[in-house]
Amino acid sequence: MSNKPKIIFDVLTIFPEMFPSYFGGSILGKAQEAGYIKINVHNLRDFAQGLPAPRPGTYFVYAILCDNEDIYIGQTGNLELRWRRHIEGTAAQHTKKHKPKQLIHYEIYDSREKAVEREKWLKTGFGRKWLKKEWKAGRTRQAGKHKITDDMAYGGISGMVMKVEPIYYAVEALKKKVRTRKRRIILLSAKGELLKQKKVRELGELKHIILIAGHYKGVDERVAKYIADEELSVGEYVITGGEVPAMLVVDAVSRMVSGVIGKDESKKGESFSSGVKYEHGVYTRPAEFSPKKGKAWKVPDVLLSGHHKEIASWRDANRETTSIKKRGRHGG
């Protein structure tokens, strides 16, 4: 049993529940139990702030529960800053006198006029009654309850974009936990370098790999520009998120760690190994299978012959013919 893992994988995601069954079973699960590798999955929401960032043309109406059980209601264009000033006692006389306990509700509007109108209604008797009812029922949007990991894209395009701040804070925290120079921070991205076995072998030499799994419309470009060391793609197609690509990277790289799949000898001759493009076809018992009367699927006679040289020659020839038949002569 290994005392110290040879590679530590840290996966950053907003859907951590997707990973346990894959990482906990079969070879990857056994490799972790034996101590050859360590896989940690982190929820990006744990590194996110509870309030949306300010943006031009966006206004907020908010409600604060104070230490005297009063509810203070206001509106602002910068909720983060306004909440901080309420805590400091510099935003309003009421919250200076009665310390804020919790920001219990906020709403977002696209104009100050709408925000002011909503603020006035919430301050009425009917408005305060509705607010208290919704808050006690757990239906209000509360700071700290809804961790913000995505926001609307600038430039008018549709779709939500994953924010840079939670990813930055998460990566910085992980870098402090694992002290090594042999680390790569990888953003899974459709526009990244296509993952191939050569890259897998390179990653297998590292001590620490941080994988950022994007989602929705994409990830704020500043993550690729300032945080990630590289971007990787697992194929020229689009899927719903970076979680499955992260699993593929962990799986492929883990196989490069000595001891993970048993003897290293078993990796020789497999697809994309040294001197091999594609692995030859393989067979097992029975030697002949009849799916229906008059039809027989047979194992090639040479594999049953016991002649090692002839079997080796068949394997070499089969690698070429099998790959051409399945992928086309140009690997398409």
**Distance, CA of 324 to CA of 58 (rounded, Å):** 58
- The average pLDDT across 90-108 equals 92
Q: Where does CATH 3.40.1280.10 sit in the chain?
A: 7-47+162-254
Q: Which of 192, 198, 328, 188 is nearest to 271 (CA)?
A: 198
Summarize the confidence of residues 300-311 as an average pLDDT.
95
Instruction: Supply the pLDDT for residue 322.
Output: 59
Q: What is the pLDDT of residue 45?
A: 83
Give the residue, 152 or 100, on which the prediction is more confident.
Answer: 100
Which CATH code for domain 268-327? 1.10.1270.20
Q: How confident is the model at residue 332 (pLDDT cuts 50, 70, 90)?
A: very low
To which CATH superfamily is domain 7-47+162-254 assigned?
Answer: SPOUT methyltransferase, trefoil knot domain (3.40.1280.10)
Full DSSP string of 11-60 = EEES-GGGSHHHHHSHHHHHHHHTTSEEEEEEEGGGGS-SSPPP-TT-EE
CA-to-CA dists, residue 112 to 91, 129, 266, 322, angstroms: 18, 24, 67, 67
Higher-confidence position of 240 and 1: 240
Summarize pLDDT for 267-290 with one digit per residue, the tens: 565 656 666 677 888 999 999 999
Nearest to 233 by CA among 186, 278, 164: 186
Looking at CATH, the fold of the domain delimited by 59-146 is given as GIY-YIG endonuclease (3.40.1440)
The pLDDT assigned to 273 comes to 62
Using a cut of 0.85, tell me whether the model's pTM lies above it. no
Checking if the pLDDT of 146 tops 60, the result is no
Domain with CATH 3.40.1440 in the chain: 59-146
* Domain limits, CATH 1.10.1270.20, in the chain: 268-327
